[in-house]
Structure 1
Amino acid sequence: MASLKDVAKLANVSLMTVSRALNTPERLRADTLTRVQAAIDKLNYVPDISAKKVRGSHATQNTIGVLALDTVTTPFSVEITLSIEETARAHGWNSFVVNMFSDDCPEMIVDLLLSHRPGGIIYTTMGLRQVPVPAKLLTLPCVLANCESLHEAVASYIPDDQQGQYDGVRALMAAGYRHPLCLHLPANHIAAARRRQGLEQACREADIDPDRLTHCYMELGDEHYRDIPAMVLANFSQGNPAFDSVICGNDRMAFLVYQTLLAQGVRIPEDVAVLGYDNMVGIGDLFLPPLSTVQLPHYEIGRLSALHIINGDAHKNTVYVPSPWLPRESI
């Protein structure tokens, strides 16, 4: 790959002149600028932006650094980083992602991120969670996407899980279903408690006591999805469901509920309705019948987080982003 020195040698100019051609071309004579640009084109030279930033030891104000805790490796939250990138480009900014795994040393990953001298930082996670925010991140404009700060006051953009579950359950009740079986995410998930609040609100508005419903919480760990069929079958009596609908903690649960019900000859939604949550990427419309669910607003979270940095917003509030209800044929 051609270097800055190669360009300077071919154009017969100094390194400073090449630097000016790249950064402040208006300061050069037209013929000098033309000669340098011709050398750049001939050598296919690509400027080393990160090296330039390190030499200058200052932030590049139109670059967003994304610290992604497990986010870019999963299909569930990849829209967050996609949205950040698209929003940044639409406003003349750039973005780059540094992925951090749960077993990484946070200090080393944060140093790697900051070595690129971003103008602002978005810290995002896969799955709503509370995180300690490294103090070094707060030396720059910083915002959290799909997570909340454990200690410091930091602006956060997160799904409105209570509203999303409320809208979904309200639609279920409006369709005439009155005896749901409630399958929740693990009890220690932040989203589980907030979604239950939305469920209870919708039930009370429909004159249904939520405490009289059957509530089952999945154990923590992906291996416990295999427990979902047993939870469903435990609420059968003489081969028939003792419920008229199933409220699922997410679409993965709903997938197992479908298999269990259909294997027992139960029709969806004629006998039992099914309500999902998340709108898992590329999956909802593949259910037969298509799954009614709630959209996790990951794309909008990414967009609003990027705009927070781009617009220089200074608030440190938690912003609850609406989670849209997606009616399909399972209700």
Structure 2
Amino acid sequence: MLMVSLKDVAKEAGVSLMTVSRALKSPDKLSPKTYKVVKEVIDRLGYVPNLAAQHIRGVAANTIGVLSLGTATTPFSVEILLGIEQTVRQHGWNSFVINTFENDSQAMEDAVEQMLSHRPSAIIIARNGLKNVSIPEKLRSFPLVLANCQTQDMAVAAYIPDDYQGQRVVVDRIVAKGYQRPLFLHIPKNYIATAKRRQAFEDAWANHSGQKPVQFFMRRDGEDYFEGAQPLIDYLEKPDPLPFDVIICGNDRIALVAYQLLLAKGYRIPEDVAVCAYDNMVGIAQLFIPPLTTVELPHYQMGQEAALHLIEGRKDRDIHQLPCPLIEGESC
């Protein structure tokens, strides 16, 4: 089926191309009679504006370009993009996603050029995990907001998880349940989230009568979660009973390893030792047996709020910390 063109509409309505263009963009510049004629032809022929052609002529109005730093290819953070897409649709805006990776300078440069070729009116930079990012020079003049990342390059609004609150809520629950002997298997020490979560844990435990907690950290930028659980492996290889009654895991993937290690050694969860974690990775908590108690990262909300920041024309350049809810399972 052939697409109806602007020229087809003009010919059928008996008007110029300019008149049809005004009917689409500035109907107030036409007489009511002329606009009615053109609108009737547009509806009858089913004409759809050619957005690509509009992009060539200038900025794509009400269109948000999303520079995705691994977000589109990382399952547990892809809901950031869903939050953006559904929000822009609800408000009659458009969006598109360009995915790239920070450790490939050529790929980043190509992604920025591709982004600019679509003529966005505003830009969201979204990351698959909370870190400081560099803002490409060519994007700094656009209305800009960050989701799940922050920057030291310029003052710009960012929507990130409240990792202090998230860790505090789960540790407060552990304290309330009477656990006394925790082992905390942290994510890498250089991550932004790690410092906040450690502080929340130590603040919550400060006035608790339990023993001094044992804490370990993964190596810098580590992604080997068996390495993250290595301290637990070392304890389980000793002949003595495990000296902990709760294992606090820096994320669900460390918890998955911890489950396997504990169950293989005959420990019951939570009867012998409790386990809790962080992330609520795409509903994975319910696939643990028993279901995992974890903290949910607000991925959808970060995307949603970043989109609303641009749609509503918010002027602040603050870092907004969004709450991380407790997902209570049966593991503690």
For normalisation by structure 1, the TM-score amounts to 0.89
Matched with 2:166 is 164
Q: Aligned AA for 1:287?
A: F
Decide whether the 8 Å contact of 1:21 with 1:36 is kept in 2.
no
Q: In structure 2, how many angstroms separate the alpha carbons of the residues matched to 1:306 and 1:33?
A: 31
Matched with 1:296 is 297
Residues 13-36 of structure 1: per-residue CA shift (max 9 Å, x gap): 543243234334562343343234
Matched with 2:234 is 234
Q: In structure 1, how many angstroms separate the alpha carbons of the residues matched to 2:91 and 2:41?
A: 31
Rate the CA distance shift 1:151–1:30 in 2: closer, same or farther, 3 A.
closer
Structure 1 residue ranges (4+ consecutive) displaced by more than 4 angstroms after TM superposition: 6-13, 220-223
Q: State the Cα distance separating 1:9 from its structure 2 match.
A: 5.1
Q: In structure 1, how many angstroms separate the alpha carbons of the residues matched to 2:213 and 2:248?
A: 11
Q: State the Cα distance separating 1:244 from its structure 2 match.
A: 0.7
Q: Is 1:224 matched up with 2:230?
A: no
Rate the CA distance shift 1:205–1:313 in 2: closer, same or farther, 3 A.
farther
Q: In structure 1, how many angstroms separate the alpha carbons of the residues matched to 2:235 and 2:44?
A: 76
Q: Is 1:68 matched up with 2:74?
A: no
Q: In structure 2, how many angstroms separate the alpha carbons of the residues matched to 1:285 and 1:158?
A: 25
Decide whether the 8 Å contact of 1:25 with 1:33 is kept in 2.
no
Decide whether the 8 Å contact of 1:228 with 1:257 is kept in 2.
no
Q: Is 1:306 matched up with 2:307?
A: yes
Q: State the Cα distance separating 1:105 from its structure 2 match.
A: 3.6
Decide whether the 8 Å contact of 2:188 with 2:222 is kept in 1.
no
- Secondary structure in structure 2 of the residue aligned to 1:127: coil
Q: Aligned AA for 1:82?
A: L
Matched with 1:145 is 147
Quote the RMSD (CA, aligned, Å): 2.2
Q: State the Cα distance separating 1:91 from its structure 2 match.
A: 2.1
Q: How many residues align?
A: 323
Decide whether the 8 Å contact of 1:8 with 1:36 is kept in 2.
no
Rate the CA distance shift 1:302–1:174 in 2: closer, same or farther, 3 A.
same
Q: State the Cα distance separating 1:7 from its structure 2 match.
A: 4.7
Rate the CA distance shift 1:164–1:29 in 2: closer, same or farther, 3 A.
closer
- Secondary structure in structure 2 of the residue aligned to 1:143: strand
Rate the CA distance shift 1:32–1:320 in 2: closer, same or farther, 3 A.
closer
Q: State the Cα distance separating 1:267 from its structure 2 match.
A: 0.6
Q: State the Cα distance separating 1:228 from its structure 2 match.
A: 4.5
Matched with 1:176 is 178
Rate the CA distance shift 1:23–1:201 in 2: closer, same or farther, 3 A.
same
The percent identity for this pair of structures is 50
Q: In structure 2, how many angstroms separate the alpha carbons of the residues matched to 1:36 and 1:9?
A: 11
Matched with 1:154 is 156
Q: State the Cα distance separating 1:318 from its structure 2 match.
A: 0.9
- Secondary structure in structure 1 of the residue aligned to 2:149: strand
Gaps of 5+ in 1: none
- Secondary structure in structure 1 of the residue aligned to 2:275: strand
Q: Is 1:38 matched up with 2:44?
A: yes
Q: How does 1:8-23 map to 2 (within 5 A)?
A: 8=10, 13-23=15-25
Q: In structure 1, how many angstroms separate the alpha carbons of the residues matched to 2:223 and 2:76?
A: 18
Matched with 2:320 is 319
Decide whether the 8 Å contact of 1:169 with 1:199 is kept in 2.
yes
For normalisation by structure 2, the TM-score amounts to 0.89
Decide whether the 8 Å contact of 2:166 with 2:324 is kept in 1.
yes
Q: Aligned AA for 2:138?
A: K
Matched with 1:124 is 126
Rate the CA distance shift 1:265–1:36 in 2: closer, same or farther, 3 A.
closer
Q: In structure 2, how many angstroms separate the alpha carbons of the residues matched to 1:223 and 1:132?
A: 22
Residues 130-151 of structure 1: per-residue CA shift (max 9 Å, x gap): 0111233221211111001122
Q: In structure 1, how many angstroms separate the alpha carbons of the residues matched to 2:226 and 2:12?
A: 66
Matched with 1:268 is 269
Q: Is 1:91 matched up with 2:91?
A: yes
Decide whether the 8 Å contact of 1:128 with 1:147 is kept in 2.
yes
* Equivalent of 1:110 in 102, 109, 112: 112
Q: In structure 2, how many angstroms separate the alpha carbons of the residues matched to 1:327 and 1:129?
A: 27
Residues 145-168 of structure 1: per-residue CA shift (max 9 Å, x gap): 100112211111110111111111
Q: In structure 1, how many angstroms separate the alpha carbons of the residues matched to 2:235 and 2:167?
A: 22
Residues 207-254 of structure 1: per-residue CA shift (max 9 Å, x gap): 457xx4222222356662233454213123425211111000100110
Residues 99-129 of structure 1: per-residue CA shift (max 9 Å, x gap): 1223244333223223323222111100001
Gaps of 5+ in 2: none
The structure that is strand-richer by fraction is: 1
Q: In structure 2, how many angstroms separate the alpha carbons of the residues matched to 1:148 and 1:33?
A: 46
Q: In structure 2, how many angstroms separate the alpha carbons of the residues matched to 1:310 and 1:36?
A: 28
